[in-house]
Structure 1
């Protein structure tokens, strides 16, 4: 009996889709997200200590900026699925062309995002926040918008490594950005050393620098001779109509889904902010804490998408299903551990955000609301883990339209309309929006879980069918921690032998 239990444990950790592989691919991505979390968390702490007004302004402006970035990032990041499926199918010479289509997409995206910075007055004038806070929001939003292109470009370039399962490179590059951002953030906000005291403007400039560093480092790492030989990373720079069409076909729903999800969260923050400055400050603090749980699980979301994409590209979807189930368990374990901490000891965590110029008595209303809000976060974080992992699996196979429509309908019917009615029409307090947020997460977890279990994603693909084996013989597989390169999957051309259809054909048959 003991030997049987040992064998089961060993089996659960080994092989494609086991815990070992999920962690090998996922831990570097989780660490990458933790580096983003550290940047945001320290940024919020610095701004909280600077003044209550700056922390009240930072989250609405930051979320509004990321709301627009999210659409273009959602499209661009889908390059990782193309890279994963080409890798799984053994068609490594197409990886460079897929990456370049994402790079070409970044150029108009940057122009649009920089132009949106001019609309800050209109966006935050509607918010109903105090005039002093609106002025800070506009300044922060404009700086973030001008540098937003770096965030999109960096996410696309990272796909070259993440799509092949080589996630350690992504981790190291993102940590380099963090090491630049955190001290620069402190110096620019408070005016340390040669830098002037810029407050929230300094936080914006530090954020832009922190996102620019990874883009530069990825370019230096990717465009090398070795990668040209294996992946045509230099010679495939021309627009490829077939890949670009498919990237728009499958990536646009992903971008719309990301945008709508962020819109629902942005609407949530703006509506709660209309209840009062204390409510807005408490919400901003709690949402900043929520990123400590949410962003690392985004790493599992990306890892699941990669592993499912590679398994589907190789015609072995069961390996992707196994990886998804294991990733979901790991995500819930992480979220549950943080939830216990927040429910058991909320006050010490909240006091990290207390402004230096506020007394305990002045901060007490924010603290009391924060304790209640943290209980909501502890509850819906478990659901968030399932939402992220299951949606990542569906997107990795190409089921992006379903994900998009689910997010669209849920955002409107479960989040936006109930929020407006509860706060603006019925005049309910801050607990009503947080209850609605919990229900929103529960609906998404249920719908995505059912879709995944029904298994329609198993016969989808986003890449074109390989009509020739020419040019693929002798090309080594991905040598990263994923172990899902050609060495672990069927060899070159395996994708065309698999009983699968493209996701586009799947949709047309339905």
Structure 2
């Protein structure tokens, strides 16, 4: 799962690096449009992705036919989401011109965003299939499909952005189009594994293609808090990003560069988060909490070791890492100074990311989604309120805003750690309620 999530990081990283070959306005536009599209999808991604824990719980309990019914309910949710996604996409697309962004940036953000949203349904269906295979422990399937997807996406985006091999030169639209095409192809690859004869027989795939009231009820009861958390947190992050980009192109490009390197740390650790959630769900279903403890300990060792190593490297080579995205325009000297300073904040919260991802994965896998939702969203909204005063009311320096964001991540990690350590989430009566349909 680390390799699988790392493939996603490579995809976003290379898209923005290709944009840097054009100019800094394109970097900022790719950041703004990409985050806005993920925000619009985040409610349904958060809900569908909780299928990982549901499948793992059924698998641990030996209820194999229920596993594939989770996939069917996920596709039903994705289909039902289409009208709302269309309305949300239109409204968000019109909002770019009212956020105080550079006039050169707005049309680029909008067209990049619309293209990504055009493939939103593919994103949701892919998430449903991927979380299923993770839930039953076949993570090599997810790795193989995601690596194949990135091998398609990167060269295709390059050809479409710069007009290579007879293809039209589409610029930022080419980056988004390459992503959408690659997502569709990965769905076809997943279906090859899902519809294989041995798998169909073991998990009763043919009988799963129905609406299942009991499975859907569990999906909504446990998944909606996770979905609301994802949606509200992405909403606050998206507004923070858009407010920060209101400082100007220099600040927007600086943030895009720093978050590109953040993905090198954060996204692979999301693979650990997904793995921990799946394994905790499996052992909750099997009633084996001793093994759950071993999963949590192993997750912390891997995540803290990985993020700690990268934090040291990012701190020592922060200027050189920023220069990877150097552009020819005169603004990059200012971008270098600001982004290098922001890299210090990045190295400060990377270890906190490791804690909150492992602890959060364990809590979600055990069905403690309501506590996670309330805690995380409360701190995110407190951060956004502080950002409003820092950026809009008091007009403070961009670095002040950045350190407010860092402080929020440190606070969330501390709260998750305390919840995990106290252990209320593992009480037998709580776990019994989690398994009820």
| TM > 0.5 fold call | yes
Aligned to 1:284: 256
Aligned to 2:115: 143
Aligned to 2:89: 117
5 Å matches for 1:318-467? 318-355=290-327, 357-358=328-329, 362-413=331-382, 415-459=383-427
Cα distance in 2, alignment partners of residues 207 and 229 from structure 1: 33
Cα distance in 1, alignment partners of residues 428 and 56 from structure 2: 14
Cα deviation 1:422-462 (Å, max 9, x = unaligned): 11111111111111111111111111111111212223699
Aligned to 2:188: 216
Cα deviation 1:218-249 (Å, max 9, x = unaligned): 11210233222211112121100011011011
User: Is the aligned partner of 1:175 residue 2:147?
Assistant: yes
Structure with the higher helix share, 1 or 2: 2
Of the two, which has the highest radius of gyration?
1
Give RMSD over aligned pairs: 1.7
Specify the SS of the correspondent of 2:81.
helix
Specify the SS of the correspondent of 1:275.
coil
User: Is the aligned partner of 1:56 residue 2:24?
Assistant: no
Cα distance in 2, alignment partners of residues 461 and 71 from structure 1: 29
Aligned to 1:471: none
Aligned to 1:31: 3
Specify the SS of the correspondent of 1:358.
coil
Aligned residues: 437
Specify the SS of the correspondent of 1:290.
helix
Residue 314 of structure 1 deviates from its aligned partner by 0.7
Aligned to 2:433: 502
Worse overlay, 248-257 or 346-355: 346-355
Gaps of 5+ in 2: none
User: Is the aligned partner of 1:128 residue 2:110?
Assistant: no
Specify whether residues 461 and 344 from structure 1 end up closer, same or farther in structure 2 by C-alpha distance, changes over 3 A only: farther
Specify the SS of the correspondent of 2:300.
helix
Cα distance in 1, alignment partners of residues 429 and 337 from structure 2: 50
Specify whether residues 447 and 228 from structure 1 end up closer, same or farther in structure 2 by C-alpha distance, changes over 3 A only: same
Structure 1 runs, 4 residues or longer, greater than 3 Å off: 459-462
Residue 118 of structure 1 deviates from its aligned partner by 2.1
TM (norm. structure 2) is: 0.97
TM (norm. structure 1) is: 0.83
Aligned to 1:8: none
